[in-house]
A = this chain, B = another copy of it.
Amino acid sequence: MHKLPVGVLGASGYAGRELCAIVARHPGLELAFAAANERRGEKARLGGREVTFVAADDARLGDVALVFSSLPHGASAQWVARAREAGAKVVDLSNDLRPGNATAGAHGSENGAVATAISAPYGLPELGRDPIRGAEIVANPGCYPTATLLGLYPLAARGLIAPGATVNVSAASGVTGAGFTPRHDLLFGEVANDFRAYGVGNTHRHLAEMRSVLAGWGADADLLFTPHLLPVPRGILATITVPLAEPVADPLSLWREQYAGEPFIEVTSDLPALKDVVHRNVARIGVVPVQNVRVPTLLVFVAIDNLVKGAAGQAVQNANLVLGLEETAGLAA
């Protein structure tokens, strides 16, 4: 089978490495370049293949069918534009082009101006595939928004979130979510045996993205998002409390109905755990009604691998759609 050449920008971070690994095992894609300026010339073994990082300026953007940009927020949009000019389609893993961020990014910076000028569909296929299929650029969702929005969608689509209420998202992520740049607070000696919140009080960078999508659904609810750092390498668990507009008799059936036939959604009558989802491109969802509270309330639990369904796996899922390949190609469900 002929394989389509793709490239990765920002290939040496955790999401970039995961992308290279997934592409290496993909039946329809082959890795044409893996760019990482700070590590140019270094080799890494990813997905069973040896990869040599090149400088971004040496990446032949015009020779590939699609570019994955895993560059940092605030630096990615410009490279998206360069790749498009060279003729490649793009899946952008930064938050530059995501809903709620594109215009917000335009603080006079060049990258912000570029971001504002680009219109890209939001790449959460389970919310709608058509805009993605026809797109030249896709804004790949953040890890926390992926978990949160997949959990909330069946309720929002049915107008079941109580108007004016606060949806409370308490989430916890493994440390690869914080990136590969060495920092004191990410050393093994600091993270092991610890647990703590961060980015609290509704200050996290992913809030704009979640709020924007939620508003697009017409949900009149506030969002309160509190992330925590887990002493595990991978995985996100979102524990979402949703006050309901009215009681729901068989809540799990809403998720089963909404996601029937979805290859990458698992609705479970158990409670999802990180162990169920790591290294897989799935969101695993459990739903539990809350006893002994006056407002009818549901607890929605969503587990994903932050590097797979929360980043690189979903990016490949989007690339498959954009390139007309089988949506599940190269992805472990």
* Complex: chain B residue closest to A233, CB-CB: B189
CB distance from A194 to the nearest CB of B (A): 4
Annotate A257-286 by CB proximity to B: 1 below 8 A, 0 otherwise: 000000000000001111110110000000
Whole-angstrom distance between the alpha carbons of A197 and B288 in the complex?
11
Contact B222 A294 (CB under 8 A): yes
Q: How large is the interface on A (under 10, 10 to 19, 20 to 34, 35 or more residues)?
A: 35 or more
Q: Which of B182, B226, B234 contacts A299 (CB 8 A)?
A: B226
Q: Pick from A94-102, A136-144, A165-173 the stretch touching chain B.
A: A165-173
* Complex: chain B residue closest to A48, CB-CB: B333
Q: A193-B278, A195-B273, A228-B239 are in contact. Are A288 and B200 (CB under 8 A)?
A: yes
Q: Apart from A186-B189, A201-B291, what 10 extra A-B contacts exist at CB < 8 Å?
A: A14-B189, A170-B239, A172-B228, A187-B187, A193-B234, A195-B273, A197-B271, A201-B289, A201-B290, A230-B230
A residues contacting B by CB (< 8 A) are 14, 45, 48, 164, 166, 168, 170, 172, 174-176, 180, 182-184, 186-198, 200-203, 207, 222-224, 226, 228, 230-235, 237, 239, 241, 243, 271-276, 278-279, 288-295, 297, 299, 301, 303, 332-333
